[in-house]
Copies of this chain bind each other. A is one copy, B any other.
Amino acid sequence: MTGQTAISVLLVDDHPLVTEGIGACLETWDNITIAGTASNGRESIEAACQIKPDVILMDINLPDMTGLQATRHIRARQPHSKIIILSMHDNREYVISAIEEGACGYLLKDVSSSEVATAIETVYRGGNYFSTDVAKALTGPKQHSVLTKRETGVLALLAKGSTNKMIGRELGISERTVETHRKNIKRKLGISTTAGLTRYAMENGLTN
Contact = CB atoms under 8 A, between A and B. Distances in A.
Given A17-B116, A21-B22, A195 B159 contact: yes
Interface in A157-201: 158-163, 191-199
Contacts of A137: none
Among A20, A21, A194, A207: residue with most chain B CB under 10 A: A21
A20 B202 CA distance: 27
A135 interface: no
A36 to B, nearest CB: 16
Contacts of A24: 21, 24-25, 28, 113
Interface stretch (A42-50, A68-76, A104-112): A104-112
Contacts of A159: 195, 198-199
B195 A17 contact: no
A194 B199 CA distance: 11
A109 B129 CA distance: 28
Contacts of A111: 16-17
Interface residues of A, number: 36
A15 interface: yes
Contacts of A16: 110-113
B14 A110 contact: yes
A162 B161 CA distance: 17
A65 interface: no
A88 interface: yes
Given A161-B191, A191-B161, A113 B21 contact: yes
Interface of A: 14-18, 20-25, 28, 88, 109-113, 116, 158-163, 191-199, 202, 207
Query: What 6 pairs across the A-B complex have the smallest Cβ distances?
Result: A21-B21, A161-B196, A24-B24, A198-B198, A161-B193, A161-B195
Given A21-B21, A195-B198, 13 more contacts: A16-B112, A17-B22, A17-B88, A18-B88, A20-B21, A20-B112, A21-B24, A24-B24, A24-B28, A88-B88, A159-B198, A161-B191, A202-B202
